[in-house]
Amino acid sequence: MKNIELLESAKALLEIQPNTLSKLSNASAFLNETLDQLNWIGFYLYDGEKLTVGPFQGKVACSTIEIGKGVCGEAVSFKKTMVVGDVLTYHNHIACDSNSRSEVVVPIFIKNVLYGVLDADSPIYDRFDQDTVSFLEEFVTLLVKTIDI
């Protein structure tokens, strides 16, 4: 029930934003306020070659991520949500923040074209349970409906 109410609030917020930058900025702020135990949440946007940091909440982030590199790059390559319970043991993790212990990345495709990813990091091991992952995937689905490309 809680996720449904949060998604309704997110929909109302996203629909009133004047442009995509505002949508992504307020989306990251909304998610940061909504989810606990995060140290970073935001977007990496595809520039035609690589992922480039977009609006986010948290510490300074990696500026660019190559496709296939790190959890973000793998989510794009595999075209699926990636959940890593312990980034310290994950072979392809890129450590932007040494305090991160778990990560979830949801790829964003609009009209079957790569747009970017939603990335969330936590200082807690195994922070991202199936309920949280489903919420983030539904949030991305909602977000995609409000972005024109």
The tens digit of pLDDT for each residue in 65-79 reads 999 999 999 999 999
The tens digit of pLDDT for each residue in 81-113 reads 999 999 989 887 877 778 899 999 999 999 999
pTM beyond 0.75: the answer is yes
Number of H helices, E strands in the chain: 4, 6
Q: What band does 51 get if pLDDT is binned at 50, 70 and 90?
A: very high
Domain range summary for the chain, segments of one domain joined by +: 2-146
Residue 44 CA to residue 1 CA, distance in Å, equals 29
Summarize the confidence of residues 40-46 as an average pLDDT: 98
β-sheet with 113-122: strand ranges across: 64-66, 50-58, 40-46, 113-122, 102-110, 82-84
Summarize the confidence of residues 118-139 as an average pLDDT: 97
The tens digit of pLDDT for each residue in 30-41 reads 999 999 999 999
What are the residues whose beta carbons fall under 8 Å from the beta carbon of 4, sequence distance 6 or more? Answer: none
Q: Which superfamily does CATH assign the domain made up of 2-146 to?
A: GAF domain (3.30.450.40)
- Given a contact cutoff of 8 angstroms between Cβ atoms, the answer to whether 125 and 99 are in contact is no
In the predicted structure, residue 26 carries a pLDDT above the cut 80 = yes
